[in-house]
Chain A
Amino acid sequence: AQKVTQAQTEISVVEKEDVTLDCVYETRDTTYYLFWYKQPPSGELVFLIRRNSFDEQNEISGRYSWNFQKSTSSFNFTITASQVVDSAVYFCALLNYGGATNKLIFGTGTLLAVQP
Chain B
Amino acid sequence: DTAVSQTPKYLVTQMGNDKSIKCEQNLGHDTMYWYKQDSKKFLKIMFSYNNKELIINETVPNRFSPKSPDKAHLNLHINSLELGDSAVYFCASSQEPARGTQYFGPGTRLTVL
List the interface of chain A (C-beta within 8 A of B). Answer: 33, 35, 37, 39, 43-47, 50, 52, 89, 91, 95, 97-104, 106, 108-109
Bound CA span A35–B101, Å: 8
Q: How far is the CB of B33 from chain A (nearest CB, A)?
A: 8
**A100 and B109 in contact (CB under 8 A), knowing A43-B88, A47-B103, A95-B99?**
no
Chain B's interface size range is 20 to 34
User: Is chain B's interface secondary structure helix, strand, loop, or mixed overall?
Assistant: strand
List B31-72 residues whose CB lies under 8 Å from chain A. 31, 40-45, 48, 50, 55-56
- B residues within 8 Å of A by Cβ? 31, 40-45, 48, 50, 55-56, 88, 90, 92, 97-99, 101-107, 109
- Flag if A100 contacts B43 (CB, 8 Å): no
- A95, B45: Cα distance in complex, Å: 12
With a cutoff of 8 Å between Cβ atoms, the chain B residues found around residue A95 in the complex are: 98-99
